[in-house]
Amino acid sequence: MSETFDLGSTRLRVVLADPVATVLEGELDPGGGTTWHTHHREDEIVVVLEGNLVVDDGEWHELGPGDAYALPRGVRHAFVNESESLTRLYFFCSPGGLERFFRDLTSGVPPADAALRADLVFE
């Protein structure tokens, strides 16, 4: 059984946890997403399977089914499901290890400590 993380309006399932890459399958309820943040350890690719997603990295990108967007490490970004229906997507992160951040969050590690361990900066 895959490891899953319930973050309220966002749910994630670990598809792959490997030193080379982490692959997460996500479901975002309407309004689900994340605040501004920067990955300093990994590059991230977002692929929308179903629904819509807005990615903001200083420019506004509206993604639909089959669309993908690459976010190199060091690029500040946020994303949100602004639609009225569920969005399903994959996050591909390389190198691997980002799943540890979500494991920390759901096991009671304070968010600031979890972010520090993962070399993530939230603003």
| Domains along the chain with CATH numbers | 4-122 (2.60.120.10)
Pick from 61, 35, 34: which is nearest to 48 by CA?
61
Tens digits of residue pLDDT in 62-108? 999 999 999 999 999 999 999 999 999 999 999 999 999 999 999 99
Q: Region 113-120: what's the mean pLDDT?
A: 96
Q: Please report, to the nearest 10 degrees, the dihedral formed by the alpha carbons of residues 93, 17, 52, 56 taken in order.
A: -30
Sequence length of the chain is 123
Q: What is the pLDDT of residue 32?
A: 96
pTM: 0.94
